[in-house]
Amino acid sequence: MTEESVESLLATVERLRVREARLAALYATANDLTAIRDVGEILGAIVGRARQLIGTDISYLGLVEGDATCIRVTDGAVSASFRNLRMPLGTGLLGLVADTGVPYATPDYHADERFAHREYIDDAVDDERIHAILGVPMKVKGEVIGALLAANRTPRPFSTEEVELLSSFAAHAAIALENARLFSEAEEATARLATHSAAMERAARVHDRLTATLVGGGELTGLAEVVAEDLGARVAVLDADGRVRASVGLDDADLARHGGIGPAVAESVTAGRSVSPADDAAVAVAAAAAGGEHLGTIVVLASAPLADAERRTLDRAALGLAVLLSFERTVAVADGRAREDLLDELVDGTDDVERARGRLRREHVDPSVVQVLLVAVVAAGDRGRARRRLEGWTRSRGGLVTVRGGDLVVVVPGDDPLGPGRALHHALAADEVVATIGAVPLPDLLRDAGAAEAEARATAHALVSLGRAGEVADPAGLGFARLLLGQARRGDVTGFVERTLGPLLAWDAERGTELAVTVEHWCAASGSAVGAARSLHVHTNTVTQRLDRVAALLGTDWREPARLLDVQLALRVWRMGTPGHP
């Protein structure tokens, strides 16, 4: 193994170790918060886990109090002035995040002019020797209640993955704070109103069941069952695109009958709480969001409008769904990157075939079966959407996908490259993505991926250059264009003649006609039936009838410029005596 390979392997191992540590921190937080009812204890657990999750020197949490933001709990801080810092909304990074409700990150706080600096705030930051800060908002029902921050005593940038992780963590933290506050309110209400106490106890039980569902494996079906049982209603859990992911008593047909669900979802995303369509109070819709992004939706169809306590249950379930989907996305992103790295390694040429073989099997990709390699050229704006679609598409087929040079590269099992190529084209078209696809066979995934990728890429880009964007072709399908690219074999040229003129030549051979010759003379006469009749010594009507037969055999578009060029070239090769032709 070369030194670069060792370094690459060590880097991969380190990335996986960091990923596992971060996921462990997230799940450990869920376990910690399950049994905690005290707000102070919850806040301490949150900042401790945030510091572990991002791997920074300090973590702290600030809450909005009137027109100011106050640091309430820290982990790793030593300065009293910093631990008790209070700042107006909009000042400092903490105040800016709490005021705007969006994440902010800076590699060096003092050099960053985006923030409204105050001398006493900067002095407190100096006391802690803080440079780099990442802050994300904490929201409950659409309102910012505070911010969670991670800071380093040395300058450093924060990656997009770290922003997403801390945002997901903050959503979980908001759940913990909201539940703790609601539990406290329930205890106070118990002394005054027994019925209200019973309702809050019920809400706490539902919360515990929801938390247990998340911690115990986080299945969407389990969450839907908890909500359906508690509310005595039919429930569906939808993804961000409106597709049903889990349901209890509801299906697509039921949802289609309630046309106001779509607008209600948009309203719930904006409001940050459950809402009902204007004309259907028995339907309740609660959008799940994290970091301001809509992740999914819970739809409830009850026999009567939900009471306030029931709506709180639904809102808590939506927060749980947001955490669950955030976990799912984090794992999927990390797993997808590992699979991308594996395919990139195969295309670049692996130095350790046996190690690559083991990794393929762990990803449920069988290296012993014949594969095909596809390169899809799509518009830059469609690339991310297409990549997300193909992750599930390739995984279900035992394949891999990555992005190289701006193009999607796919490996899936198959004997005929055009079959999977057309299936891929159809899958992308379902998301309104236009793809131009080059498809080549890949007999040995472990050794031939690099050459196959280069050939498929050249094929796809040649299609675009030839004005055939949106098509699927193998290298042989390029015909003479492939010959010009220096990739064709003699058999490919023969195949080009067969695909272009096959029906015509077969007709002549079976019936002793001269359709191919007639097309030759018609082309030589610049498309004139009169000129062709003159050179063939036949009547003009005869030429016209023969050309009608040609259209019936080759298709009515055979005279279009692109196809006519192929026809003329194929006739030249046929006339020169291509093997298999007279």
Statement to judge: residues 502 and 476 lie in one domain: no
Statement to judge: residues 480 and 507 lie in one domain: no
- Given 303, 329, 355, the domain boundary residue is 329
The answer to whether residue 186 sits within a structural domain is no
**Cβ atoms within 10 A of the Cβ of 428, count?**
22
Q: DSSP characters for 204-269?
A: HHHHHHHHHHHHTT--HHHHHHHHHHHHTSEEEEEETTS-EEEEEB--HHHHHT-TTHHHHHHHHH
Tell me which residue range forms the domain holding 40: 3-179
Angle in degrees, CA 258, 235, 309, rounded to 5: 100
> What size, in residues, is the chain?
582
DSSP H helical ranges for 349-402: 353-362, 383-396
**Cβ atoms within 10 A of the Cβ of 252, count?**
11
Domains identified in the chain, total number:
4
Cα distance between residue 152 and residue 58, in whole Å = 6
Q: Look up the pTM and report it.
A: 0.40
- Given 436, 463, 484, the domain boundary residue is 484
Statement to judge: residues 520 and 563 lie in one domain: yes
The answer to whether residue 464 sits within a structural domain is yes
Name the burial class of residue 396, with classes exposed (0-12), middle (13-18) and buried (19+) by CB atoms within 10 angstroms of its CB. exposed
| 486-513 tens-digit pLDDT | 454 555 667 778 888 889 899 989 988 8
The answer to whether residue 204 sits within a structural domain is no
Strand order in the sheet with 132-140: 86-88, 68-75, 58-65, 143-152, 132-140, 104-106
- Given 162, 179, 196, the domain boundary residue is 179
Statement to judge: residues 222 and 75 lie in one domain: no
How do the pLDDT tens digits run along the chain, 582 residues long?
A: 576 676 777 777 676 676 676 666 666 665 665 556 677 788 888 888 889 888 899 999 999 998 999 999 999 998 888 988 999 999 999 999 999 999 999 999 998 988 889 999 999 999 999 999 999 999 988 899 999 999 999 999 999 889 988 998 888 778 777 887 777 776 766 656 545 555 556 656 666 666 666 555 557 787 788 888 878 888 888 888 788 888 888 877 777 777 677 788 888 888 888 888 877 788 888 888 877 778 888 888 888 888 887 888 888 888 878 777 776 665 545 555 777 888 888 888 888 888 888 888 877 888 888 899 999 999 888 888 888 888 888 888 888 988 888 899 999 999 889 999 999 999 999 888 899 999 999 989 888 899 999 999 988 988 887 778 899 998 877 766 665 554 545 556 677 788 888 898 999 899 888 988 998 899 888 888 888 889 988 898 998 999 899 889 888 888 888 788 788 888 887 876 644 344
Statement to judge: residues 99 and 126 lie in one domain: yes
Statement to judge: residues 12 and 151 lie in one domain: yes
CATH of the domain at 65: 3.30.450.40
Statement to judge: residues 385 and 473 lie in one domain: yes
Statement to judge: residues 159 and 247 lie in one domain: no
Statement to judge: residues 86 and 166 lie in one domain: yes
State the virtual CA torsion across 269, 272, 277, 278 in degrees, nearest 10. Answer: -120
CATH of the domain at 386: 3.30.70.270
The answer to whether residue 189 sits within a structural domain is no
The answer to whether residue 228 sits within a structural domain is yes
The answer to whether residue 121 sits within a structural domain is yes
| 144-187 tens-digit pLDDT | 999 999 999 999 999 988 998 899 888 877 877 788 777 777 67
Statement to judge: residues 376 and 257 lie in one domain: no
The answer to whether residue 337 sits within a structural domain is no
The answer to whether residue 547 sits within a structural domain is yes
Statement to judge: residues 411 and 550 lie in one domain: no
Statement to judge: residues 554 and 500 lie in one domain: yes
